[in-house]
Structures are given as structure tokens and as C-alpha cells.
């Protein structure tokens, strides 16, 4: 039995092609996936991300709990409303999940975790929360919409009260706050500006339709994947999982080994890994010729050894194929990829491939 979001009926009414995504019936696309992609790069699109799990973490010692739970340092948050992206690791340094955490007040943080990992994430959090007296509350009463694109903030703000719109448009990047009964944050997974909006499930369909009327295009998971890959953002389960650590997943920037006195789960393993030297790294690939890079294709490295593509697609913005690949650390500037039995040249580039509508590689 697959699960459905509060928007499922509307997706069907809008003609979406529905697919099973991590046990959820989700819209893959409404019409052309490429048209949806371009709508986000050039105007605005809306995604149903209600399958992601919103978790409130409450208690007097919630900060101490999160300092030990996350590989990124919650102490970096200097103002209420600020968000932090990071990984929850196991003792071996493997990635249990990547998540965003918002600091709402000193006894209330809010996390957003992936749909496919929600059960194990909640179990892991509860296991470690007990000793801090932290309460873990799943917010299944909320729907979540991602409104993304250069015109997304203005169009979404037009649905708010005048005072609410002013507050929403004043949000700095990676900040969120309560506005008109919604939680609005200036975050996303597309490489464009925009908001993610958590709101009561009963309002979700009405708000989606109001966004459509304001010129925001309905977008499915297909476009979400090409957008995030162009933006060089990792996808849990493809680019990293419990068998890989952040240093070989392009996520070293989310690991805070300073201050050295902060103990967190996985720290000892990461320090040992770093002391031994990294064996593998996650890189961006740009296919030189025609064809499409796909996950699990083999990557041959001239410096020696083999790697594997973790995520690959056709980039609608660049009109060529791009990928993320885990390769031996010695890999230099070019590789060959085995696509259906033939070797194709690809160049190693530093992600992101596209940011704010502009190609960053050529």
C-alpha cells in the first residue's frame, strides 16, 4: 500500500503521471518534464514535497541533543529562523540521512528529513533523544510545497496578507519563519531562489491552485531531479548512503570538525578516515559527446582504477548529459564512461553545473 500526500487528488486532476517513489504515489510529470524544468529556471514552478518528513524536536536540552546528532555544527546558527544543512551519521561515519534543521527557539528545532528514510531516521532520533528528554513529534498535519524559480518568491508572496508578504520577501537565504499560519523558508533543491512552505494539509490544494493562477507551473519529481543535479546537489540513496561517508560524497563542507571539543556521532570514524587519506571522491562529469549518463555506469579513470556514476541525466539547460560520479581520489581532468558497452569521453568538472539560470560549465 503506497502512501499519498494531501495533494494526490489534485495531481490526478491535473493529469500527472503518478509513480511510486519510496513508497509514495507521487507526480513524475504533468506534461513535458523538460518544459517544467525550464519553467523553474526562467519563471516559477511548484513541487509537492509533502512526502518529506517534518519533525519537531522539543525540550530544554534540544540544542545539546543536536550538537551530538549532526556532523554539522548547530552552534553555527546565530539567529532564530536560521537553517542548517547537514548529515546524521552512524558510528562508522556512514550517512544515515541528510537533513535541514531550523532553529525556531531555544527549546524548539524543526528538522526535514527524506521520505524514504523517515522510519529509520525517527527511530535513530528517538534512540538518542531519550537521554536529553527531547520529544520527537512527526508533523503529519502539514503539507509542504516548494515554490522555486526567479519569480517564485514574488508570486508566492502574492498569496499572503500585505504584512505577511513584506515579511516573506524580507527573509534572507536559508532563513524561515511563521507567516500567516504557514512556515515559510527561503530554501530549496533546484539552484534557484524560492520558498519552501509548510502549511496545514487542508489548505494545500487551494494554495497549489492559487499558485497555478499566479503563473506558477506544476512540476513533478522528474524536473526536481534534473534541477537538483544541475545544481550539483546530492540525493540520498543515490549519491550517498550508510556505506559512504561525507568526505567521499561531496559533503565535506557539511562536516564541522571544529570546534574540536564538540563530540558528535561518527566523529571518531571521520577523523580516522581523514588521517588515513581519502580513497575516493565525488565529482561532476560532463559528457563530451552525445548520449546520456545514468547511475551505475562504470567510470574508467586513466590515473588508475574505476568509479561509478551515482546520478546521471540529460541537462535541459546545458543540452548535454551531466552526472555525479564516485571515482578514485587520484582522478584528474577526464575519464571514460561505459554507456551500454561503448566507452565515451567525459570531463571532470566542479559542481554546480547551473546556478540561478546560468550555465557554470561549458
Partner 1 sequence: MSQVPADLKYTKTHEWLRTLPDGTVEVGITDHAQHALGDLVFVEVPEAGRKLSAGDPFAVVESVKAASDVYSPLAGEVVIGNPALAAEPEAINSDAYGKGWLMRLRPAAGAPAPALLGAADYEKLIAEEGG
**Closer residue to partner 1, CB minimum distance, 72 or 218:** 218
**Closer residue to partner 1, CB minimum distance, 185 or 226:** 226
> Shortest gap between Cβ of 4 and partner 1 (angstroms)?
19
> Shortest gap between Cβ of 240 and partner 1 (angstroms)?
22
**Closer residue to partner 1, CB minimum distance, 318 or 349:** 318
**Closer residue to partner 1, CB minimum distance, 289 or 302:** 289
> Shortest gap between Cβ of 40 and partner 1 (angstroms)?
14
**Closer residue to partner 1, CB minimum distance, 148 or 226:** 226
Question: For the CA atoms of the chain, what is the radius of gyration?
Answer: 20
Torsion angle of the four alpha carbons 301, 304, 306, 311, in this order, in degrees rounded to the nearest 10? -40
**Closer residue to partner 1, CB minimum distance, 78 or 340:** 340
Which burial class, exposed, middle or buried, applies to 19 when counting CB atoms under 10 A from its CB (0-12, 13-18, 19+)? middle
In whole angstroms, give the CA distance from residue 243 to residue 312. Answer: 20
Q: Which residues of 304-319 are buried (b: 16+ CB within 10 A; e: fewer)?
A: eeebebbbbbbbbbbe
> Shortest gap between Cβ of 290 and partner 1 (angstroms)?
6
User: β-strand 95-105 against 142-148: which pairing, if any?
Assistant: unpaired
15 dihedral zone (left: phi>0; alpha: psi -120 to 50; beta): left
Residues of this chain that bind partner 1 (CB under 8 A): 28-29, 32-34, 222, 226, 290-292, 294, 313-314, 316, 340
With contact defined as beta carbons under 8 Å apart, do 124 and 242 qualify?
no
> Shortest gap between Cβ of 294 and partner 1 (angstroms)?
7
> Shortest gap between Cβ of 291 and partner 1 (angstroms)?
6
Torsion angle of the four alpha carbons 18, 223, 46, 202, in this order, in degrees rounded to the nearest 10? 30
**Closer residue to partner 1, CB minimum distance, 221 or 233:** 221
With contact defined as beta carbons under 8 Å apart, do 341 and 356 qualify?
no
Torsion angle of the four alpha carbons 357, 358, 360, 362, in this order, in degrees rounded to the nearest 10? 110
The x, y and z cell numbers of residue 58, run together, are 522539543
> Shortest gap between Cβ of 319 and partner 1 (angstroms)?
8
Amino acid at each position: 500500500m503506497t502512501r499519498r500526500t494531501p495533494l494526490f487528488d489534485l495531481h490526478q486532476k491535473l493529469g500527472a503521471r503518478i509513480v511510486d517513489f519510496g513508497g509514495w504515489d507521487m507526480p513524475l510529470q504533468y506534461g513535458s518534464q523538460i518544459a517544467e524544468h525550464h519553467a523553474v529556471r526562467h519563471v516559477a514552478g511548484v513541487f509537492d514535497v509533502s512526502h518529506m518528513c517534518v519533525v519537531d524536536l522539543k525540550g530544554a536540552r534540544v540544542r545539546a541533543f543536536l550538537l551530538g546528532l549532526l556532523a554539522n555544527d548547530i552552534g553555527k546558527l546565530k539567529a532564530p529562523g536560521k537553517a542548517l544543512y547537514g548529515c546524521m551519521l552512524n558510528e562508522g561515519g556512514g550517512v544515515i540521512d541528510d537533513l535541514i534543521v531550523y532553529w525556531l527557539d531555544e527549546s524548539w528545532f524543526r528538522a526535514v528529513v527524506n521520505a524514504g528514510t523517515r522510519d529509520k531516521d525517527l527511530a535513530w532520533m528517538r534512540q538518542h533523544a531519550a537521554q536529553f528528554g527531547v520529544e520527537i513529534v512527526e508533523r503529519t498535519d502539514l503539507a509542504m510545497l516548494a515554490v522555486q524559480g526567479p519569480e517564485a518568491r514574488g508570486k508566492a508572496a502574492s498569496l499572503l496578507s500585505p504584512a505577511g508578504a513584506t515579511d516573506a520577501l524580507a527573509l534572507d537565504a536559508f532563513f524561515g519563519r511563521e507567516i500567516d499560519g504557514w512556515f515559510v523558508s527561503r530554501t530549496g533543491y533546484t539552484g534557484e531562489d524560492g520558498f519552501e512552505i509548510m502549511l496545514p494539509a487542508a489548505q494545500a490544494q487551494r494554495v497549489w491552485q492559487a499558485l497555478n493562477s499566479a503563473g506558477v507551473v506544476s512540476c513533478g519529481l522528474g524536473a526536481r531531479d534534473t534541477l537538483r543535479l544541475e545544481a550539483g546537489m546530492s540525493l540520498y540513496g543515490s549519491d550517498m548512503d550508510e556505506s559512504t561517508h561525507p568526505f567521499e560524497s561531496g559533503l565535506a563542507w557539511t562536516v564541522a570538525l571544529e570546534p574540536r571539543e564538540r563530540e558528535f556521532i561518527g566523529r571518531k570514524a571521520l577523523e580516522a578516515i581523514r588521517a588515513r587519506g581519502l580513497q575516493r571522491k565525488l565529482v561532476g562529469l560532463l559528457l563530451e559527446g552525445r548520449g546520456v549518463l545514468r547511475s551505475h555506469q562504470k567510470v574508467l579513470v586513466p590515473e588508475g582504477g574505476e568509479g561509478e556514476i551515482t546520478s546521471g541525466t540529460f541537462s535541459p539547460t546545458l543540452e548535454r548529459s551531466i552526472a555525479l560520479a564516485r571515482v578514485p581520489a587520484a582522478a584528474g581532468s577526464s575519464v571514460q564512461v561505459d554507456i551500454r558497452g561503448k566507452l565515451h569521453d567525459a570531463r571532470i568538472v566542479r559542481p554546480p553545473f547551473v546556478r540561478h539560470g546560468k550555465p557554470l560549465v561549458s
